[in-house]
Chain A
Amino acid sequence: MRTLSSVEELDFAAAAMPAHVLVAPMSDHALLEATRTGDEDAFAVLVGRYRNQITSYIYRMTNDYEESVDLAQETFVRLYRAAGRYQTTHAFSTYLYRIATNLAISELRKRKRRRLVSLTGLLDPGDGGEAIDFNPVDQQPLQDVSLVDTERREAVKRAISTLPEKYRAPLVLRDVQGKSYDEIAAILCTSEGTVKSRINRARNFLRDKMHAYL
Chain B
Amino acid sequence: MMILRECRATRRNIDETGLDEGLAPRASEHISVCASCREFHDQRIRLREMVGSLQPVDAPADFDVRLRARLVGERAGKTTWFAFPGFVFGTPAVAMIATVIVLAGAIMLLNRAGWFSRSPHQFAAKSQPPPKQVGPSPAPGVMKDTGAPVPANVVVLADDRRRAVKQQRNRMSNVAAKPGNVTSRDFTLQPAPVFTQNEAERNAAEISLSKPFEFSLQDSRGVTHKISLPPVSFGSQQLMQNGQRFPPASYSANRVW
Question: Contacting A10 at CB < 8 Å: which of B44, B56, B65?
Answer: B65
A156 to B46, CA, bound (A): 12
B210-248 Cβ-contact flags toward A at 8 Å (1 or 0): 000000000000000000000000000000000000000
Task: Classify the secondary structure of B's interface with A.
Answer: helix
Beta-carbon contact of B15 and A214 below 8 Å: no
Q: A207 in the interface, Cβ–Cβ < 8 Å?
A: yes
Q: Which residues of B contact A51 (CB under 8 A)?
A: 59, 63-64
Q: Which residues of B contact A68 (CB under 8 A)?
A: 57
Q: B72 in the interface, Cβ–Cβ < 8 Å?
A: yes
Task: Classify the secondary structure of A's interface with B.
Answer: helix
Beta-carbon contact of A175 and B58 below 8 Å: no
B41-82 Cβ-contact flags toward A at 8 Å (1 or 0): 001101110111111111110011111111110110000000
Beta-carbon contact of B44 and A203 below 8 Å: yes
Q: A77 in the interface, Cβ–Cβ < 8 Å?
A: yes
Q: Which residues of B contact A54 (CB under 8 A)?
A: 59
A164-195 Cβ-contact flags toward B at 8 Å (1 or 0): 00000001000110100100000000000000
Interface size class of B (residues with CB under 8 A): 20 to 34
Beta-carbon contact of B51 and A171 below 8 Å: yes
Beta-carbon contact of B74 and A77 below 8 Å: yes
Beta-carbon contact of B58 and A55 below 8 Å: yes
Q: A146 in the interface, Cβ–Cβ < 8 Å?
A: no
Interface residues of A (CB under 8 A from B): 4-7, 9-10, 12, 44, 47-48, 51-56, 59-60, 65, 68-69, 72-73, 76-77, 80, 149, 152-153, 156-157, 160, 171, 175-176, 178, 181, 196, 199-200, 203, 206-207, 210, 213-214
Interface residues of B (CB under 8 A from A): 15-16, 43-44, 46-48, 50-60, 63-72, 74-75
Q: Give me 19 other A-B pairs in contact (C-beta within 8 A), A10-B65, A156-B53 excluded.
A: A5-B72, A10-B64, A44-B64, A47-B67, A52-B56, A53-B56, A56-B57, A72-B63, A73-B70, A77-B67, A80-B71, A152-B50, A153-B55, A156-B54, A171-B51, A175-B51, A176-B52, A213-B46, A213-B50
Nearest 8 pairs between A and B by C-beta?
A55-B59, A51-B59, A175-B51, A56-B57, A56-B56, A59-B57, A12-B64, A7-B69
